[in-house]
Amino acid sequence: MKLQWKYALIINVSVLVILGTFYLINDFASQRDLRRLHLRNVENGAMLRQIADRIRIQVEQEIERQQGFHQPKIEEILRQIKSTASEMTNVVDINVTDGVNAKIAASLVEGKTPAHLMNFTEIDLFEIQRKAMQVYNMVELPEKGYGSEIIVPYRVDWLNEYSDENTISGVIQVLFSSPDINHYIQSIRWRHLWAIIATILLLCLVIVVTTVRLVLRPLEQLTQIVRFAEADDLSSLQLSYQAGDIGEATFALVRMLKELKASHQKRLDALGQFAAGAAHEIRNPLNTIGMSTQLLQVIFSQPNVNSEDVNEARDTLQIIHNETQVLRQTCDHFLALNRPPKLNLKLTSINSLITEVILGIRLLSEEARVKIVEQMAPYLPDINIDATLIRQVVVNLMQNGIQSMPRGGRLFVSTQLKKSTIDTRVVLQIRDTGVGIANSIKERIFDAYFTTRENEGGIGLGLAIAHQSIKAHQAQIEVQSQVGMGTTFTISFRIPPS
C-alpha cells in the first residue's frame, strides 16, 4: 500500500474510532442524566402543582373578597405567599391576568404593567379555554438559564352569573427555576468541551506516532545508511527494514550499495588478475627480446664476424620481430575490451564458417584426444555477421572446450534453425564433456580478466572478447554447465524478417 494511502487510512480510521468512542460514552452519560432528570421531575411535579393550586386559591379568594380585580392587593398576596412558604424557594415570578389573555395585570416582580405579556403560545391559550387545564412548559428565564412554567386557569363565580364550571376568569403563570436542567445543560457543555479537547489530543498522538513510525523512523534509517556508506562500513547494514514505500526504498538502497561494493570489489580483483596476467604476457616476450639483444651484442662485439654469426644474428632478429608481434597482439586484446568492435557485416554461411574453424583446429583436438562431432542442419539461411569476429569467437569456445577435457572426450558442434511467433533464429551450439563450471563462478566467466587458468598463463580475455563480439551483433550467448558433466555454449543470431 502506498505511503499516502496508508497514512490517510490510519488517520481516518483513528478519527472514526475516537469519535465513535466519545459518541458512545456521551450517549450513555446523556441517557443516564436524562433518566435521573426524569425521576427528579416526577418528584418535583406534584410539589409544583401544589404550589400552583395554593397560589390559585389565594388569588381567587382575594378577588372574591375585594369583589373585583385589585392589582395592589393581588401583588401583596403574591409576595406574602413567596415570603412565608418554604416550598416557594424556586419560584422566580408569578403573573396573573384579568381575563383570558396574555396581558399581565399583576405580578410578583414589581414594575410590570398590562403592556407586558405572558410568553405562552396560542396553542396553550386554546388548550386552557377548551379544557380549563394546566399547561407545563420548559422556558428560558432571563439571567437564570432554563426553568419550568405552569399556567393555571382561575375562576371567580361572581364575575358572571350565568357561568358554569368551565368558564375561566383569567390565568396564573408560575415560573420556577430548574437547577437540575441547568446543571444538565452545563454538564453537556463541559462534556462536549472535554470530548473535543481529548479528541484533539488523541488525534495529535495518533498523527505523531504514525508520522514517527511511517516517515521519521524510516528516514532515520536512510540517514544511517548514508553515514555507513560515507564511512565505507556496509557490512553493518541489514537487509530487513520496515514495510512501506520508504522501507522498500531503504531495502533497495542497501541492496544496491552492497551490490555496487561487491561489483567494485570484483573489478578490483579482476584488475589484480589482469595486472598479473598482463605482466606474465608481457614479461615472457620481453625476456626473450632481452636475451636476444644480449646475444646480438655478443655477436657484434667480436673482432671478426663470420657468415655463421651473421646467420645467427638474422635468426635472433626474427625472434625479436616475432615477440614484438606477440606484444602488439596482446595490446590489441587489451584495447578491444575498452572500445566496441567495428563490424564488417556480410552475408555468411554459418556452416561453412564452422567447417573452416574445425579444419584449423583438428590437429589440436587430435593431440588432446578430443573427437569433434559435427551436427550441422542443412539449408540454413545466410546470416549478416562479421565473419572474422565470429570465427574468433568459435575458435575461442572450441579451444576452451578442448582444454576442459585433459583426458580426452567429445566436442559436439551443432547448428539449427529455430522459428517462433516472435522471430526466427540461427542457433549455434558448442558442447563439451569436460570438467564443467562451478555455479559459484558461472556468472563471472564473461568478466574481463577473470580466469581459472592463471598457472597456464591465461589472463581471462577470451570469453570477455567473445561476449563483447556477440553483443555487438545483437545476438545472444548463454552458458549451461554442470560440474563433471561438461559445458554448453549456445549462440543465437536473429534473422531479420524479409
Q: How would DSSP label each residue in 215-274? A: IIHHHHHHHHHHHHHHTT-GGG--S---SSHHHHHHHHHHHHHHHHHHHHHHHHHHHHHH
Cell of 268: 578490483
CATH: 3.40.50, 1.10.287, 1.25.40, 1.10.405. Which one for 245-336? 1.10.287
Provide the pLDDT for residue 135: 59
Name residue 364's amino acid. L
End-to-end Cα distance, the chain: 48
- pTM attached to this predicted model: 0.44
Cα–Cα distance, 447 to 441 (Å, whole number): 10
Backbone conformation region of residue 113, classed left if phi is above 0, alpha if psi is from -120 to 50, else beta: beta
The pLDDT value recorded for residue 9 is: 74
Could you tell me which of 53, 39, 41 has the C-alpha nearest to residue 134?
Answer: 53
Residue 401: count of CB within 10 angstroms of its CB: 27
| Phi, psi angle pair for 301, to nearest 5° | -90, -5
Per-residue pLDDT of the chain (498 residues; tens, 9 = 90+): 565 666 677 777 877 888 888 788 878 877 777 676 666 666 666 777 788 888 888 888 888 888 888 888 888 888 888 888 777 777 888 889 888 788 888 888 888 877 787 776 777 777 776 655 565 666 666 666 667 788 888 888 754 554 555 567 888 888 877 666 666 667 777 877 887 888 888 888 888 887 777 676 767 766 777 776 666 666 665 555 555 666 666 667 777 777 777 777 777 776 676 666 667 667 777 888 888 888 888 888 888 878 887 888 888 888 888 888 878 877 776 666 666 677 889 999 999 999 999 988 888 899 999 999 999 999 999 999 998 889 989 998 999 899 989 999 999 999 999 988 888 999 999 999 999 988 888 887 887 667 776 666 566 677 888 888 899 899 999 999 999 899 999 999 998 876
Which is nearest to 11 in space by CA: 248, 145, 208, 198? Answer: 208
∠ at Cα 470 (393, 274), nearest 5°?
65
Q: Which fold has domain 3-186?
A: Beta-Lactamase (3.30.450)
Q: Which fold has domain 346-495?
A: Heat Shock Protein 90 (3.30.565)
Q: Is 494 helix (H, G, I), strand (E, B) or coil?
A: strand
Is-same-fold flag (245-336; 346-495)? no
How far is 399 from 405, CA to CA, in rounded Å? 10
The pLDDT value given to residue 497: 78
Check residue 351 and give its pLDDT.
93
Strands 409-419 and 370-375: parallel
- Check: CB of residue 292 under 8 Å from CB of residue 318: no
Q: Looking at residue 376, what DSSP letter applies? A: P
Q: Which residue has the cell 673482432?
A: 303
Which residue do the cell numbers 638474422 mark? 314
| Beta strands across the sheet bearing 409-419 | 370-375, 409-419, 424-432, 486-495, 476-482
Provide the CA 31 distance to its chain's centre, in angstroms: 44
Distance (Å, rounded) from C-alpha 223 to C-alpha 221? Answer: 5
Domain boundary assignment for the chain = 3-186, 245-336, 346-495
Match 490510519 to its residue by C-alpha cell.
10
Q: How is residue 361 written as a grid cell?
A: 583446429
* 29 Cα distance to chain centroid: 41
The 3-state DSSP class for residue 91 equals strand
User: For position 162, what pLDDT does the model report?
Assistant: 46
